[in-house]
Amino acid sequence: MRSSRVAESMKAAGGGVIVNVSSTAGLVGYSNSSAYVASKWRVRGLTKAAALDLAADHIRVVSVHPGGVRTPMIASIYNPEAFAKQPIPRVGEPDEVAKLILYLVADATYSTGTEFIIDGGSTVGQVLNV
């Protein structure tokens, strides 16, 4: 990672932040999606290794793990009932993810190699009284 173009540019600038976007599929398994799940787990490892490699250059590296977010990717399969049992019973909005990323870049100055989950609580478990 030290020799990547982005890292070299950030090093020359005195530091920076790399935000890798993964998915909750990088935290838990999903059936019939093994290649997708494997790629998202890879982002976690890459984030942690890069955080260690780039720390001396004042470059922080974090990952964001969205759950269901209203995007074209889920448009054809979106079903509100799928979100009814998560603690925040709705689909996420793109601007919510963007606000988290802005926070990570601007304000989370003591975080590196860390995973940030934005999923309405879906990876916590299900609310059973719904």
78 among known catalytic residues: no
Answer for the pair 76, 59: CB distance below 8 angstroms, yes or no. no
The answer to whether residue 124 sits within a structural domain is: no
The answer to whether residue 123 sits within a structural domain is: no
pLDDT at position 130? 56
pLDDT band at 2 (very low <50, low <70, confident <90, very high): very low
The answer to whether residue 36 sits within a structural domain is: yes
The answer to whether residue 106 sits within a structural domain is: yes
- Determine the structural domain holding residue 65 and report its residue range: 5-117
Of the candidates 87, 84, 85, 92, which has an alpha carbon nearest to the alpha carbon of residue 64? 92
The answer to whether residue 126 sits within a structural domain is: no
Per residue in 11-47, pLDDT tens?
999 999 999 999 999 999 989 999 999 999 999 999 9
The answer to whether residue 125 sits within a structural domain is: no
pTM attached to this predicted model: 0.90
- Kindly report the CATH number assigned to the domain that includes residue 73: 3.40.50.720
Per residue in 47-84, pLDDT tens?
999 999 999 999 999 999 999 999 888 777 778 888 89
Look at residue 16 and give its three-state secondary structure.
strand
The answer to whether residue 129 sits within a structural domain is: no
Number of domains in the chain: 1
Catalytic residue among 36, 78, 103, 110: 36
The answer to whether residue 109 sits within a structural domain is: yes
pLDDT at position 121? 95
Answer for the pair 9, 15: CB distance below 8 angstroms, yes or no. no
Q: Which residues of 84-114 are buried (b: 16+ CB within 10 A; e: fewer)?
A: eebeeeebbeeeebeebbeebeeebeebbbe
Per residue in 80-112, pLDDT tens?
888 899 999 999 999 999 999 999 999 999 999
